[in-house]
Amino acid sequence: MSLQPTLHRAMILAAGRGQRLATITATTPKPLIRVGGYALIDLALEQLQAAGVTDLVVNTHHLAERVEDHVRRWNMPGLHISREAELLDTGGGVARALHWLGLTPFYVLNSDLVWLDTPGRALQRMAQAWDDGRMDALLLLAPTVSISGYSGPGDFAMLPDGRLARRQPSTMAPFVFTGAQILAPRAFTGAPDGPFSLNHIYDRAASRGRLYGIRHEGSWIDAGTPERLHLASEAMVHTRQGSLW
């Protein structure tokens, strides 16, 4: 087994318009929406710093300058901004940033994750679980039964060895993708030009038996809708009293 105990590079996906929160994102970029007093993107930045990340790429598009100015205040030593004149979707955004992300595996985080557990813990568990000989992608998954306010069908089933299988149509899957992952640069070899979804990368990795998952042991909320944003704000008030800030 070839383990990658520490990952120093990461990307935060912060270019989306946040269509499900359109009444808010018309004037506030989604990564800067406040939850329990904190900007969403700050929660991702806190997790990455606590996990030992020193080199970071943040992609931007909607109200880009406001997001960029906010991120720069964190004074991360290896910060790169990837401003997209036209949206490249999740996969295209990462592919455009590969020259900054280097030749070794890296984290990719959505900018709308609300983390309620110890900063860095989940990402460090992922790094310890990474096996470069077997994996092209490792996704952090939450059990559907443990997610407050979630009523969807789930995303993946997990085999005993950690490999993932997509939910089949008209069925339920026991795990939901949290939006946190480790990806190997080789997973993008032969990827499409221009916009494409990271789902393309996952499906290719799965077809080769190289898509894996790890169960999240902490609390997590996807704040992508007004209802869940409210739920996340309430949870933050009760659980983030001991924040690093």
The pLDDT assigned to 230 comes to 73
Q: Tell me the two tokens of residue 83.
A: 């401003």
Per DSSP, the three-state class of 106 is strand
Residue 185 forms part of a structural domain? yes
For the record, the structure tokens of 10 come out as 């990461």
**Measured between alpha carbons, how far is 244 from 49 in angstroms, rounded to an integer?**
11
| The pairing of beta strand 106-110 with beta strand 9-13 | parallel
Cβ contact 209:136 at 8 Å: no
pLDDT at 240: 57
- pLDDT recorded at residue 3: 44
Cβ atoms < 10 Å from Cβ of 43: 26
Structural domain of residue 73, as residue ranges?
9-239
Cα 226 to Cα 12, 199, 229, 233, distances in angstroms: 22, 25, 5, 11
Question: Strand 164-166 and strand 156-158: pairing?
Answer: antiparallel
Q: Return the pLDDT at 89.
A: 97
In a domain, 244, yes or no: no
59 lies in a domain?
A: yes
CA distances from 231 to 22, 47, 220, 241 (A): 18, 20, 11, 17
Per-residue pLDDT, 231: 72
Residue 1 included in any domain: no
pLDDT of residue 22: 58
Q: What is the pLDDT along the chain (245 residues), one digit of tens a residue?
A: 444 457 999 999 999 876 666 566 678 898 998 888 889 999 999 999 999 999 999 999 999 999 999 999 998 889 999 999 999 999 999 999 999 999 999 999 999 888 777 888 999 999 999 999 999 999 999 999 887 667 789 999 999 999 999 998 989 999 999 999 999 999 999 999 999 999 999 999 999 999 999 999 888 777 767 777 777 777 776 665 544 33
Query: What is the CB-side half-sphere exposure of residue 118 using CA atoms within 13 A?
Result: 6
111 lies in some domain: yes
Encoded tokens for 22? 């359109």
**Does residue 207 fall inside a structural domain?**
yes
- pLDDT value of position 239: 66
Q: How far apart are CA 78 and CA 216, in angstroms?
A: 28
Strands 137-143, 78-83: pairing is unpaired
- Number of residues that this document lists for the chain: 245
Q: Could you give the number of structural domains in the chain?
A: 1
- R_g over Cα of the chain: 17
With the CA atoms of 122, 189, 201 and 218 taken in that order, what torsion angle do they form, in degrees rounded to the nearest 10?
A: 0
The amino acid present at 108, given as its one-letter code, is V
The domain that contains 101 carries what CATH number?
A: 3.90.550.10
Dihedral class, residue 161 (left if φ above 0, else alpha if ψ from -120 to 50, else beta): alpha
Contact 102, 188 (CB under 8 A): no
Residue 80 domain-assigned (yes or no): yes
And the tokens for 21? 């929160």
